[in-house]
Amino acid sequence: MFVRNCWYVAGWSDEFTIGSPQARTIIDQPIVLYRTPEGDLVAMEDRCVHRGAPLSAGRCEGSALRCLYHGLKFDRTGICVEIPGQEKIPDRARVRTFAVEDRHGWAWLWMGNAEAADTALIPAATGIDNPDWRMGRGEEVFAAEYNLLNDNLLDFSHLSYVHRNSFKADEKWATERPTVTVLDRGVRVQRWIANAPAIASARDLGGTPVDTWSSYEFLIPGILLMETTFCSLGTAEASDFGPPVGGILRENRSSQAITPISARSTRYLFCIGSRASDASPEDADATAAVARMAFLEDRAMIESQQEILDKSPGFAPMPTTADKAIVHFQRIMKRLSSVAG
Ligand code: FES
Ligand SMILES: [Fe+2]
């Protein structure tokens, strides 16, 4: 079940350089992306209309792309503009194109009809290009279906167990239930973890007893926009258990994207960091290294979970009260995946 009418992160904007076509598979669909000499991103089906060769093995010629099998050339709108040795170009000689946008350091691809692409729906991620934040980055590919990664990010009770070595997360992450708010295209998950050691991504504060405000939105198809604010003890109560009012020791942000490649393969891209005024590039790299260690812990758990699930046809999960955000999010996914794209 894939939602087509939404923005997927196809990669980091700086992965796509002028004149260099790149292959990506997103929701089982082979796509070629390239950047024109003007710097614009172009995305089209990675399949030549002639005999199906990959256009990603082709050659950029200005803003056009030439298939390097028999030389058909396509302009940036996917229309075939040249067939070597043939004058007449059939009308149907065109490749499907996709709406694609550089935003927040990522290349976002709308997998539904390009005419329906609404840039206002691109999530407001804090990206590696944001001058106010010093972000480190990383990515992994998981041999698992993307829903398992989404479920993982919708329920942080796993921090206490899966991430006891990396984040050194306290038991309270498992015992304190967050407030879950249902949004149009996702959920908001918020909570205080009061009077517990700061998790390791708090850098030098890690292990210090603090009140931690954890607030994130998780939006379709799997975009996490998170702030984690480490505050002096007593801030949770002084803030009436709403967003912190004063007492802030350090603010972290993280933006993460789950991009399904195919049924059992998922790309996970993340950036994480602190305010630029409060962190050096080395700090950002160190924070990203802790996060990376955590996501490898997630990968080990999720890939082995996938193996078990694949051997368990008919298995039905038994939800706990920690699964509230998962249940709401799955409902939204179901509703939106029924919309044709
Ligand atoms: S397959 Fe592309 S030109 Fe023949
Ligand atoms: Fe995790």
- pLDDT, tens only, 63-88: 999 999 999 999 999 999 999 999 99
Residue 1 has pLDDT above 80, yes or no: no
Best residue among 45, 48, 59 to mutate for probing ligand 1, ranked by most atoms within 8 Å of CB: 48
Q: From the CB of 335, is ligand 1 less than 6 Å away?
A: no
Q: From the CB of 70, is ligand 1 less than 6 Å away?
A: yes
Closest residue by CA, ligand 1 atom 4: 70
Q: From the CB of 72, is ligand 1 less than 6 Å away?
A: yes
Residue 207 has pLDDT above 80, yes or no: yes
Q: From the CA of 296, which ligand is nearest?
A: 2
Going by pLDDT thresholds of 50, 70 and 90, the confidence category of residue 195 is very high
The proportion of the chain whose per-residue pLDDT surpasses 70, expressed as a percent, equals 99
Distance 60 CA to ligand 2 centre (A): 40
Q: From the CB of 59, is ligand 1 less than 6 Å away?
A: no
Determine the length of the chain.
Answer: 341
Q: Which of 26, 33, 85, 80 is nearest to 60 (CA)?
A: 33
Q: From the CB of 241, is ligand 1 less than 6 Å away?
A: no
Instruction: State both tokens at 174.
Output: 């498992």
Q: Which of 68, 79, 69 is nearest to 42 (CA)?
A: 79
Residues in a beta bridge with 35: 18, 41
Taking residues 321-340, report their average pLDDT: 91
- Is residue 270 within 8 A of residue 291, CB to CB? The reply is yes
- Of residues 338 and 203, more confidently modeled: 203
Residue in the block written with tokens 């990968």: 299
Instruction: State both tokens at 136.
Output: 């480190």
Please give the pLDDT value at position 54.
98
Q: From the CB of 69, is ligand 1 less than 6 Å away?
A: yes
Report pTM: 0.96
Please give the pLDDT value at position 339.
75
Taking residues 317-339, report their average pLDDT: 93
- Is residue 246 within 8 A of residue 240, CB to CB? The reply is no
Please give the pLDDT value at position 289.
96
Q: From the CB of 48, is ligand 1 less than 6 Å away?
A: yes
Each residue's pLDDT tens digit, 94-119? 999 999 999 999 999 999 999 999 99
Each residue's pLDDT tens digit, 229-275? 999 999 999 999 999 999 999 999 999 999 999 999 999 999 999 99
How many whole angstroms separate alpha carbon 70 and alpha carbon 73? 9
Q: From the CB of 174, is ligand 1 less than 6 Å away?
A: no
Q: Count other Cβ atoms within 10 Å, centred on residue 311.
A: 8
- Is residue 33 within 8 A of residue 22, CB to CB? The reply is yes
Going by pLDDT thresholds of 50, 70 and 90, the confidence category of residue 341 is low
Q: Which amino acid is located at 31 in the chain?
A: I
Residue 133 has pLDDT above 80, yes or no: yes
Closest residue by CA, ligand 1 atom 3: 70
Each residue's pLDDT tens digit, 279-296? 999 999 999 999 999 999
Q: From the CB of 71, is ligand 1 less than 6 Å away?
A: yes
Question: Which ranges of 181-247 does DSSP label H, i.e. alpha helix?
Answer: 235-238
Q: What is the mean pLDDT of the chain?
A: 97
DSSP 303-331: HHHHHHHHT-TT------GGGHHHHHHHH
How many whole angstroms separate alpha carbon 327 and alpha carbon 323? 6
How many whole angstroms separate alpha carbon 142 and alpha carbon 64? 34
How many whole angstroms separate alpha carbon 282 and alpha carbon 43? 34
Please give the pLDDT value at position 337.
86
CB burial string 181-218: b at 16+ within 10 A, e below: eeeebbbbbbbbbbebbbbbbbbebbeeebbbbbbbbb
Please give the pLDDT value at position 325.
97
Q: From the CA of 156, which ligand is nearest?
A: 2
Q: Which of 82, 97, 117, 79 is nearest to 42 (CA)?
A: 97
Closest residue by CA, ligand 1 atom 1: 51
How many whole angstroms separate alpha carbon 158 and alpha carbon 23? 34
Going by pLDDT thresholds of 50, 70 and 90, the confidence category of residue 338 is confident
